[in-house]
Structures are given as structure tokens and as C-alpha cells.
Structure 1
């Protein structure tokens, strides 16, 4: 495990103001979900209205948590996670490359994206796998139908146990989405509950991806309304942006209805894909990734990065940076699992990468010189703006100019150092 630091990124003033104004306007209508007056109520006369802190920082937290590992049968994995612009880190994960006993050839990986606090996400990251295993449906026979039923039962049991703890500890408002995979010798099982997402890439293309559970999806909306809720501003009762999650018990109180029939359902959608020698890699990530990049673009980007990176943790780090530079304001967490058929280092790709970075450095130097010739000292944003409007061959597929921003920043500060005014002899002070 390691932690890496990157340079500071500052939110543009107009974006910061837009975020604050949006938060203020939304919270004035829907305070019930944010700790103020109940929905539809107004503060009593003479009562001070509660000030709701912004969920965003003025500067992102750029420290990255990374982790890596492998299995005896050839799967390698890496995790990358970063707090980003969010005021708190609410993501958790669980990476178990080899289960024990009769399941020694099975693996389990999951990403938990918490909301209204991180307690539920942390609890589920510690207990979900154990509840899956105690169902007894997983074994050497690897029966897909039995495994699917076990996964669903494990999620429901986790939510049931969590509710007991939540009532005792006061966690009713917290919740978490979950995206998980169980990999057996013959199958890949995907379980999704919420708007995190899993994606499988095979032969360089997206072979499978899970579906996000959003309140405005027709089937989800029908269940929400049948349970007595409504969908407003694409949220349940104007507040919660996901329609399936563990926790969120304030949305699970409809009488005479099964857990899967509540406004927020804890039942995951479980899919099974038969393994293939053409399988390359699998991605599990929270919506901080998927809000900024499509399945196809992320598949293309990782496929390309695997040909030029010797460390899978670096691939995860580059994805996180790409999402940050493309505008993600959320926590960002990603797990990349590589199968034996994943792309390998390529001498040709490494050569093309070196040529691209040389080209970017020379273009930054040209832009800097052009500004200086006009008597101006360019700021970084000006350089990035000119580059974004330029035709630059060889950019990473799916990543574009944003994926090389760290290289551009380095080249920019190198030019600043080169063009730093020199102090004449005798005028530099003692």
C-alpha cells in the first residue's frame, strides 16, 4: 500500500460560486434530507435557520490511497482512491484476491460509495462478504443460479443486520451503494446496488456493464411511487439520488412491503458472465468516475495505459487524475482487475508515448515563447486553453488532452523557470 501526493488544483471561482448557489437553493426546498426543518416545513417564527455546510472544499484533497495484489491463477489487481473536492471521504472498498477453503480459486472485490456519512459504507465493507459466504450457495460445483440467489440473500441479510446496528447507533440517515464481483474459475458474477458500476472489457471492447439504479428509471420510479414516495429533481422525495442502497432506513418504512419493495431497495441486480480467454480487464468504480467518462472511453483508455505502464497502481492513478481534470467533484475510487489476456507492455506504444510527451513539451515551449514575444507572461490556464484548441496526434484513446495534463503542467513550470527574470550582479542583496 502506498500514498502519493500531487500538486494542488484550485476550483475556478465561478464553479465554486455555482456549486454554493445550487446547494443553497436546493437545501431551501429540501431540508428534511440535510438535517434542517422537515420537508415542506418552515422554521418557526424567531427560530434561526440552520446553516448547512457546503459538501465541497475550496481545494481538493489529492492524496491517493493505492493497493495492489495478485492471485495464484494469474489475476492481478490494483485499487486507487482519492477524496477529491468532497468535504469528507465516504468511499470504502474490499479486495480479497483469494477466498478460503473450497473457494480458494474464487476472488471477491467491491467498492462502497457512502452518502450522508461514511459509517454505513465502512460497516458494509467489513461485513458483506461474510454474509455472502454464510448463505452456503457458493461451492466447488459453481452453480450460477445458486450463487446468484446467495448473493441476493447476502445483501438482504447485510441490510437486516445493519438496521439493527443503525437503530442502536443512530445511523438511520446513512447509506451506501455497492458494486461487487465474485470471480470463480468459470464465471464472473456482478452485483450492483445503486449507481456505482462494473464493466468488463474483452478483446479491446466493452463486453458487459451493470445498469445504474436511478430514481427516474421507469421500474425504479414505479416501485418508489408504489411505496408512497415521489421522484422530484431526479431524486427520491427530492433528496436521495439513488434508488437502491444498503442503509437509508428512513426510506424503508412502508408497512406490509418486502425489503425489495421499499422506496430504496437493498436488493442487488446480479448478472453472470461466462469467463473467456479473451477477457482483458474488469473495472469497479464509484459514480465519481462514471459521471465524467463513458464505458467505451474508459475501456479504450485503460487498454492503452496497460501498454505503457509497468505498475497497475499507476493506471488507477491516471484514471483518477483524468476524472478530476474532466470535472469530477465527488470522491473517486476505482479497482482494475487484469486477467491473463490483458494487454502487455508494448515497445511501440512506449515509443509513441515518449514522442507524444516530447511533442507536448515543445508545444508548451512554443506557446510560452509566443506570449513572451507579446510582452505577456502566460498563466497555466492560458496554455491549457491554447493546447485544447490544437490538433495533437497520438493522445491516449478515451483520455484526450486531459489525460496528459500532468505532463503539460510539468512542462509549463519548466518554461517558467527558464524565463524567470535574472537579478543583475550587485542588486541581489546580501
Structure 2
């Protein structure tokens, strides 16, 4: 689970911004962990491309790979020939693999054993959302009447397809972990699990190759949420969407909602499960669809909040109870 503090660090680093097509907020919190290993990228509109890029990188074993990826992945995507030719899926896939190779060859990271998840949302100039994912960070879109639709799949070693690749690369799955160690089957970095010289990068025990899901945006789409597993381990996809929509009916800003969502997931006391004690990062991206920011907020404020059973609810300004206890193991 990683080393923990005697008290959580609840200071938050938050940003917000907008373009003609999107409005966003992002926030991160160190929480109970000894160091902050998450990183994220928020680009509402990149230069003259009229495209947007948002990403969350959940680091493990250190922050170096996550920070490098947040600083460089978007550049790889936007500067690629594939992107310039409108081949966005290919641009994302190639960029993940190239970032991984750059890290491997960079002497500054020769002794670094860290890795990170990478979930990214690219919104093309023609309003198509491409979500690329490697690891167990997640992207979820809120569409008609607040229905939560996953746009990524967690990459766990116990998944049959992932386990087959791990074994073919000479590894094994033990206790749900690659070689009994890593709880992810895809990630950037983690080169100790990418040492089979007879196999290409996408066939290694831990692969940097992302899954990519394409979604054509419509006027029914409200927002997309990208977050690390510090959020998704505590709340379901639908619970997160409901949490956000309820607070939008209370006329709260996306920045405030990001911060409240992390507070809601934070473990209150030490315990046994480890839930709520991770670093946390949340990015919420609103699809303006020719609305101004104020018009979008008004549009969402007038909507009826829904709960996870798709029935209407009224806000009493109280926090919903989580299905899992938000406690953590205080042992070293």
C-alpha cells in the first residue's frame, strides 16, 4: 500500500480554464501518502489545432515517470504526423509507446524503477472524444440524464487477456499481481517488467500500449471525468457522476466539486482496507456545445439530480455514504 503519514495532507492544487468548446477543472491532493506521485495535464485548446487534451498519470514507486509523462505525452500526440493527418487513434497509440521508449533511453532515468498509469482524453476539432488508457486510472462520461458510461477498462493482471500476455512474456500472476509485485498489467515505465528482448514493447509482461475508445460527442453529453484509482476505489462510476451532477444543481463550480470529491473519498481514520488513503487526482471536462460557461452551468443547475438507481433526489447538502469503509492500514 505504500508508506503513510500520521495525518493526511489535505492541501489541494487546483486549476481551471476553458476554450470555446470545453471548460475544465482539475485538482490533486497528497492525502495520507508520504509523497505525491500523481501528475496531470490540462490543455483546453492546443495552439492552432482547436483540439483539447486532458490526462491523469498515477505514479507508483516514485513520481519521476508520471511527471515526465505529464510534461511530454501531449507534445508527442500533437506533434506526430498521425495527428496532423487526422489519424488520432494511431497518434495516441504511437505516443504512448514512444514516451515509454524515450524514458528507457534517457540516462536521467537509468536507475529509476517507477511507473505510472496514463488515461488521456483527446477531443478532436470535429468533436470526437478519444480516450486512451494504460493502467487502472479511468475515464467516465456523463450523458443523457446523468447516465455514467465508462470510456476505459482497468488493466489488471488477472484479466484473461492480460494474464496470457504476461505468461507469454515469461512472467506470472500471483496474488493478482505481475510476478507477485505489480498490481497493473499496463503502465508507462516499470522497465523491470519489460525485459524480454525477444518481444516488441506491446507484448511485454507490462505493456505501455493503450486501449483506445472513440466517442462522437452530441448535445446529450454533459462532461467527462478522469481520475486515478484513489477515487474509483472508493466510489463507483455512477456514484461519481451523481456526486458531480448533484453539486451542479447546487450551482457549485467544477473546481469546488473536484475538491469536494476528493474530500469525500479521503479516509478519516486508520484501519485495515487502505481505501481512501491514496494520492488523488480528478479532472472534470464540461462539453460546452456552443454554450458559454455560464449557460452551461445554468443548463446543468436546472437538471434533476439522479442517484445510482436513476431516481430523482434532492440535495440536503449532506455527503453520501460510500459503499466501502474509508479506512486504511497504518502498519508499515
Q: Indicate the TM-score class for this superposition, using the shorter chain for normalisation.
A: 0.7 to 0.9
Q: Secondary structure at the match of 1:400?
A: coil
Tell me which of 63, 79, 91 is aligned to 2:38. Answer: 91
Instruction: Provide structure 2 residue ranges, at least 5 long, that are not aligned to the other structure.
Output: 269-274, 290-295, 306-312, 323-332
Matches within 5 A, 1:190-201: 190-201=131-142
Deviations 1:196-254 (A, max 9, x none): 00011111111333100011111011101111111111111111111101111111011
Q: How far 1:309 moved relative to its partner?
A: 3.2
Q: Secondary structure at the match of 1:200?
A: strand
Distance 1:349 1:147 in 2: 35
Distance 1:269 1:248 in 2: 18
Matches within 5 A, 1:331-350: 331-340=279-288, 344=298, 346=301
**Mapped pair 1:175 → 2:95:** no
Name whichever structure is richer in helix by fraction: 1
1:219 paired residue number: 161
Q: Structure 1 pair 134/396, CA: closer, same or farther in 2 (3 Å)? A: farther
Instruction: Provide structure 1 residue ranges, at least 5 long, that are not aligned to the other structure.
Output: 1-22, 24-53, 351-392, 403-430
Which protein shows a greater Rg?
1
The 8 Å contact of residues 59 and 85 in structure 1, kept in 2 or not, is answered as yes
Q: Secondary structure at the match of 2:35?
A: coil
Distance 2:142 2:90 in 1: 25
Deviations 1:349-389 (A, max 9, x none): 89xxxxxxxxxxxxxxxxxxxxxxxxxxxxxxxxxxxxxxx
1:400 paired residue number: 320
Q: How far 1:150 moved relative to its partner?
A: 1.3
Distance 2:148 2:171 in 1: 35
Distance 2:118 2:15 in 1: 19
Matches within 5 A, 1:14-413: 55-73=3-21, 75-101=22-48, 103=49, 105-139=50-84, 142=86, 146-165=87-106, 167-184=107-124, 185-203=126-144, 204-325=146-267, 327-340=275-288, 344=298, 346=301, 394=314, 400-401=320-321
Q: How far 1:100 moved relative to its partner?
A: 1.4
Distance 2:47 2:14 in 1: 24
Q: How far 1:80 moved relative to its partner?
A: 1.1
Distance 1:197 1:346 in 2: 25
The 8 Å contact of residues 224 and 285 in structure 2, kept in 1 or not, is answered as yes
Q: Structure 1 pair 281/396, CA: closer, same or farther in 2 (3 Å)? A: farther
Name whichever structure is richer in strand by fraction: 2
Q: How far 1:55 moved relative to its partner?
A: 1.1
Query: TM-score, normalization: structure 2?
Result: 0.85
How large is the Cα RMSD of the aligned pairs? Answer: 2.4
Distance 1:230 1:399 in 2: 42
Q: Structure 1 pair 396/297, CA: closer, same or farther in 2 (3 Å)? A: farther
Distance 1:277 1:347 in 2: 16
Distance 2:214 2:248 in 1: 26
- Alignment length (residue pairs): 301
Q: Structure 1 pair 266/201, CA: closer, same or farther in 2 (3 Å)? A: same
Distance 2:230 2:302 in 1: 33
Query: TM-score, normalization: structure 1?
Result: 0.66
